[in-house]
Amino acid sequence: MTPTRQRERIMKTNEDAHREETEYVTVMIGEQLFGLPIERVHDVFMPGHLTPVPLASEEIAGVLNLRGRIVTAIDMRCRLGLPKREDKSESMAVGIDCDGESYGLVIDSVGEVLKLRDDSREPVPVNLDSRLARVAACVHRLDQELLVVLDVARLLDMKPAAKAA
């Protein structure tokens, strides 16, 4: 969470104590429920015709045309070190923007939008799989299951780009 947002939150707190909440778009990847901060999510779409990019890292699922923009699709299962999907049902994608470029996170399915209180956040367990831990921001305890909140910036910080920087 950026300092600005924290500040905003504090300001809001002063206005109204009940506003200490963040909204998340929930997505299923593998058996796990993940959450993405709603302000980072531009749209949710079905990744239609994906063009594979030869020689790119395995995490890049390909590129696609989303209403005239070229979107780089990232295979989230691969990114999180989860096994490839077996059932052939249609995948979904969450569109996000980062540094003026469009990305599509290819996921299994999209769930509802949850409004969660910030004070119920828990730090990422230390024993979490390292591939997951490095992109997780925090964990929320829901009634039925756990929601892992993803850090979008770290999610997109993939190897080749990190090296170039």
78 binds other proteins, rule: CB under 8 A:
yes
Shortest distance in whole angstroms from residue 11 CB to other proteins: 31
Spatial contact of 102 and 66, defined as CB atoms under 8 Å apart: yes
Query: CA of 141: how far to CAs of 49, 119, 133, in Å?
Result: 36, 11, 16
Shortest distance in whole angstroms from residue 14 CB to other proteins: 36
Applying CB under 8 A, the span of 21-29, 52-60, 89-97, 139-147 interacting with other proteins comes to 52-60
Applying CB under 8 A, the span of 22-30, 39-47, 119-127, 155-163 interacting with other proteins comes to 155-163
What are the residues binding other proteins (CB under 8 A)?
A: 49, 51-60, 63-65, 68, 70, 72, 78, 81, 99, 101, 103, 156, 158-161, 163-164
